[in-house]
Amino acid sequence: MAGHVITAKPGPNPKLLVMELWGLGDLLIATPFLQEASRHYDVTLVAKPYATDLRERFWPGIKVVSFVAPWTAFERKYRLISWPWRQMFRLRQHLSREEFATGLSARWDPRDHFLLWLARAKARLGFPRLGSQIFLTRSLARPEPRAHRYENWRVMAKALGFSLPPRERLQLPKIQRGGHILVHTGAGQRVRVWPLERYRSLVRRLRLKGFSVQVVCDPDQRSWWLEAGEPEVSTPQNVGELLTLMDRAAIFIGNDSGPGHLAAFCGAATFTLFGPQLPEWFAPLNPVSEWVEGKACPYKPCSDYCQFTVPYCMVNSSEEEVWGRLEPFVLGILAPRDASPAS
């Protein structure tokens, strides 16, 4: 069965169910697959609610079913008494009525595979783990362990009878040579946040070089930036507002988080500060990207559950080290004379 390819039958496009229940960055890494799959299938995506904002911009031809899977929470994910059982039952009913020809998940997650089984998709594709092949009709071999997560979607595409280009040949929006630099200091978890005072120093250095810099942060960081003298700091409340900011940026600087992946698909060059995760797995897909890898740790990658009181993989990346990599990256894309007046 390893070489078997699912082919679409003549007539209306067959129904395809795609599970991607995790973060913003995960959805954006799936974007090339979703775009190409929608040309061959009637695609339904089960994902977190912000997928609706992404749909309007990146994959308007697919349907989105919003669902916040309780096991994707960072804490207390297995307090079964607090799970939304009624919503989960309605989701199962809705999906099973659709009579999907194929369902898949590009994660090696038994919970995804169980949902595919509950949805009664006729063909169920996935990377088996912990015996989850019992829920699948076809088990696929994962890419090699150090491969970028995008490679999982390339395997899925091949199984469905179409292909996705290698990362270096993806057709993303062209890098904008005008505009300003966007510095985003937030992340989904604290262990992925480089110290804010060091970000403030980078912003100061960039402005002294003549660049226009827009600081963007998470809500829990806003008061820090205001007290640090950044009155124009922006705190977007949803993905739609974040998209508006990204569209005006030539360069994105930030932590390993969803906004960096969003910037890549909006035509910004990206400079990422990694910590507990690996760049080879999660680097933004745009060809103009650079990063500083997090420092070594015996527990790395740790899925953000840090064993220490401070995330040394992040804090041990010094300001001078980061600036030494960042300055030539910025100058190679946006010369000061081409930038807007410094703010």
For 56-103, how does the pLDDT look when each residue is reduced to its tens digit (9 = 90+)?
A: 999 999 999 999 988 776 566 667 677 788 888 899 999 999 999 999
For residue 329, give both structure tokens: 């990256």
Q: What pLDDT score was predicted for residue 231?
A: 92
Q: Is residue 174 part of a domain?
A: no
User: Do 192 and 334 fall into the same domain?
Assistant: yes
Please identify, among 169, 198, 224, the residue that sits at the C-terminal boundary of a domain.
169
Total domains in the chain come to 2
pLDDT at 71: 79
The answer to whether residue 157 sits within a structural domain is: yes
306 within some domain? yes
User: Cα(236)–Cα(239) distance, rounded to whole angstroms?
Assistant: 8
Together in a domain, 87 and 109: yes
**Does residue 3 fall inside a structural domain?**
no
Cis geometry, peptide bond prior to residue 259 (ω within 30 degrees of 0) = no
CA distance 34 to 153: 9
Query: Residue type at 303?
Result: S
Question: 6 in a domain, yes or no?
Answer: no
The answer on 300 and 162 residing in a single domain is no
Considering the domain architecture, whether residues 88 and 198 belong to the same structural domain is answered as no
Structural contact between residues 252 and 241, judged by C-beta atoms closer than 8 angstroms = no
50/188 same-domain check:
no
Residues 37 and 163 in one domain: yes
Domain boundary among 114, 135, 169: 169
- Give the number of other Cβ atoms within 10 Å of residue 57's Cβ: 15
Q: Is residue 143 part of a domain?
A: yes
Cβ proximity of 316 and 292 under 8 Å: no
Q: Is residue 93 part of a domain?
A: yes
Domain limits for position 206:
180-338
Which of 169, 199, 218 lies at the terminal end of a domain, its last residue? Answer: 169
Give the residue carrying structure tokens 């993806």: 170
Residues 185 and 143 in one domain: no
Both tokens assigned to 319 = 């300001």
| Summary count for the chain: helices (H), strands (E) | 13, 11
Residue 332 lies in a domain: yes
Residues 54-62: contacts with CB under 8 Å, at least 24 apart: 54/24, 54/27, 54/28, 54/239, 57/243, 58/28, 58/31, 58/34, 58/265, 59/31, 59/34, 59/35, 62/34, 62/37, 62/38
CB-CB neighbours of 343 under 10 Å: 12
Q: Are residues 249 and 318 in the same domain?
A: yes
106 and 159 co-located in one domain? yes
- 54 and 158 together in one domain: yes
66 and 197: one domain?
no
Cα 340 from Cα 212, distance rounded (Å):
6
* Cα angle for residues 216, 218, 224 (degrees, 5° grid): 80
Distance CA 24, CA 192 (A): 15
Tens place of pLDDT for every residue, the chain, 343 residues? 334 444 444 447 899 999 999 999 999 999 999 999 999 999 999 999 999 999 999 999 999 999 998 877 656 666 767 778 888 889 999 999 999 999 999 999 999 999 999 999 999 999 999 999 999 999 999 999 899 999 999 999 999 999 999 998 998 877 766 778 999 999 988 899 999 999 999 999 999 999 999 999 999 999 999 999 999 999 999 999 999 999 989 999 999 999 999 999 999 999 999 999 999 999 999 988 999 999 999 988 888 788 888 899 999 999 999 999 999 999 998 876 544 444 4
CATH code (residue 140): 3.40.50.2000
The predicted structure's pLDDT at residue 331: 93
Same structural domain, 44 and 152: yes
For 120-147, write each residue's pLDDT tens digit: 999 999 999 999 999 999 999 999 989 9
**Chain-centroid distance, C-alpha 295:** 22
